[in-house]
Structure 1
Amino acid sequence: MGDAKEGEEELPRCVGCGRRVKTLYMQYSPGNIRLMKCDTCKAVADPYIECEFTIILIDLILHKTRAYRHLLFNKLRIYSSLDKGVLVLSILTHLVLDAFRISFSRGNIADGDSSINIFSVILNCSKVLGDALLGNIVFMTMLFLEVQFILKLSFDIRRYREVLLAVIISSYFKLFLMAMMVWEFPSSVIFFVEISVLSSNTVALRVVTEFSKAHCFGVCFGAHAARYLTERWLLGAP
């Protein structure tokens, strides 16, 4: 019985209504496929299958729930057991990008001065990574607590892992911080990136949990606020 339920959860989803479908397409020959329709809404279950990545990325940036369902349910298959490696890689990437953000916020960017001691550089990098790690531990802890008490989700490690993966994957806006390593941007860019991450996390959490936008925003805002206060007051980060 449990195996049957688990197998049903691993089915792909219709990007329009979010219902489970048996298959997204039928392949008759290499390069010749037919997109299947959803039995519930009668629309094509996932038209993004035939779209280029650029189109999907644009719809993700525009916060379209259809694009988030395609990415989370049909592309990454967050309900399957295959997402463990993706989760670890996503957490590490998330941690490194947060370290970049803290470093840029503090103005700890090397200016090419050859007199900088290599030991001090290593020490500074270790401190920034430690600060990012502590901030993310607070973020994840607050996220899980709010999911349990605000969204009333039963404590299930597998379910919480899916929520965590959805929130971290939807933090892709932080990748734009890497452009600050090449071009010079005002510090206000970090604020706009964080706001974009918050709104993207809200959409992803809503897609995964199917709760209202207000509840999901409250959960994401509380987790981000806890991390911000930790970095600002306890760690001395701007």
Structure 2
Amino acid sequence: MEEPGAYRCIECSRKAPELYKDYQRGVLRISICVTSVSFYFAGCNLTSLSKKILKSCQKPVDKYIEYDPVIILINAILCKAQAYRHILFNTKINIHGKLCIFCLLCEAYIRWLQLQDSSQSTEPDDLIRYAKEWDFYRMFGIASLEQTAFLIGIFTALWLARAVVLTTKADFTFLLKALLLSSYGKLLLIPAVIWEHDYTHLCLLLIKVFVLTSNSQAIRVTLNTSRKLCLVAIVSGLIFENAIISLFQRIGWNV
């Protein structure tokens, strides 16, 4: 995996030195992904040089820099690889941690709400209020552990399949941020429950599928790998997550 901080062409995913050229006096032009020529040593003979031509797509490096953020968001919702490359490589977004916490709060709230609907108590009001508050914190902790297990499963599968992909701490951190950012679909959990109807459970299932699809696309774009490997990584994450759920159920916790 190349340097996480480098710009990328959103069409062919090759490195680009810049997104646009500034010709002064307010004249800007989007850079074109051009063919570059690189030299590398052939074998152990330092005197023999080989030339490697990196073919490019000859298209604009990043057309989205001229687009409205709403259009970019719509393309990201449609899971277009170009939109993901623009967001992950060519923009500076530092809300990964805050977004992760907020998504976990949404998931904890959904579970807490379902738990309250299924439980009845005749205890005094103070005890009920304390128990409900503790249940919410417990659901937040369970959701956090399940998310951690899901990520561990993904990184384990990637490490077993292609150990050379994540060779540095920067590569690991960059992929982790991409996975957290691609989990934004969990924000839809709240409106799905607020506008409660007969198909709420179906909506929750579709949101889960959308989040997994976004995670898969984030892996594919970040590592520039095949869909098959992304699917294996997602399935591995789900196995780890379900293992944690089974462990909680054996303990006797309602998750």
TM-score, normalization by structure 1? 0.82
Residues 13 and 224, structure 2, Cα contact 8 Å, conserved in 1: no
Residues 95 and 129, structure 1, Cα contact 8 Å, conserved in 2: yes
Q: Partner of 1:137 in structure 2?
A: 148
Q: Partner of 2:20 in structure 1?
A: 25
Q: In the aligned structure 2, how far is the partner of 1:178 from the partner of 1:27?
A: 44
User: Which residue type is aligned with residue 97 of structure 1?
Assistant: C
* CA displacement, residues 109-159 of structure 1 (integer Å, 9 cap, x when unaligned): 99xxx9573212211111111111221221122122112112323443221
Residues 110 and 189, structure 2, Cα contact 8 Å, conserved in 1: yes
Q: Partner of 2:63 in structure 1?
A: 47
RMSD (Å) for aligned C-alpha atoms: 2.8
1:20 and 1:209, CA in 2 relative to 1: closer, same or farther beyond 3 A? Answer: same
Q: Partner of 1:203 in structure 2?
A: 217
Q: In the aligned structure 2, how far is the partner of 1:232 from the partner of 1:66?
A: 38
5+ unaligned residues in a row in structure 1: which ranges? 77-82
Residues 103 and 128, structure 1, Cα contact 8 Å, conserved in 2: yes
Residues 11 and 20, structure 1, Cα contact 8 Å, conserved in 2: yes
1:188 and 1:36, CA in 2 relative to 1: closer, same or farther beyond 3 A? Answer: same
- Say which structure is richer in helix: 1
Q: Partner of 1:38 in structure 2?
A: 33
- Aligned-pair identity in percent equals 26
User: Which residue type is aligned with residue 172 of structure 1?
Assistant: Y
Residues 112 and 135, structure 2, Cα contact 8 Å, conserved in 1: no
Q: Partner of 2:48 in structure 1?
A: none
Q: How far is 1:19 from its partner?
A: 0.6
- Say which structure is richer in strand: 2
Counterpart of 2:11 in 1: which secondary structure?
coil
Aligned residues: 223
Counterpart of 1:187 in 2: which secondary structure?
helix
Q: In the aligned structure 1, how far is the partner of 2:130 from the partner of 2:139?
A: 14
Q: In the aligned structure 2, how far is the partner of 1:212 from the partner of 1:133?
A: 29
Moved over 6 A (4+): none
Match of 1:14 among 9, 13, 18: 9
Matched, 1:179 2:195: no
Q: Partner of 1:79 in structure 2?
A: none
Counterpart of 1:192 in 2: which secondary structure?
helix
User: Which residue type is aligned with residue 206 of structure 2?
Assistant: F
Q: Partner of 1:169 in structure 2?
A: 181
Q: Partner of 1:124 in structure 2?
A: 135
Q: Which moved more, 1:24-33 or 1:188-197?
A: 24-33
Residues 97 and 177, structure 1, Cα contact 8 Å, conserved in 2: yes
Q: In the aligned structure 2, how far is the partner of 1:109 from the partner of 1:47?
A: 50
Q: How far is 1:224 from its partner?
A: 2.5
**Rg larger in 1 or in 2?**
2
5+ unaligned residues in a row in structure 2: which ranges? 35-55
Q: In the aligned structure 1, how far is the partner of 2:176 from the partner of 2:134?
A: 30
Residues 94 and 168, structure 1, Cα contact 8 Å, conserved in 2: no
Residues 105 and 187, structure 1, Cα contact 8 Å, conserved in 2: no
Residues 153 and 239, structure 2, Cα contact 8 Å, conserved in 1: no
Q: In the aligned structure 2, how far is the partner of 1:127 from the partner of 1:72?
A: 33
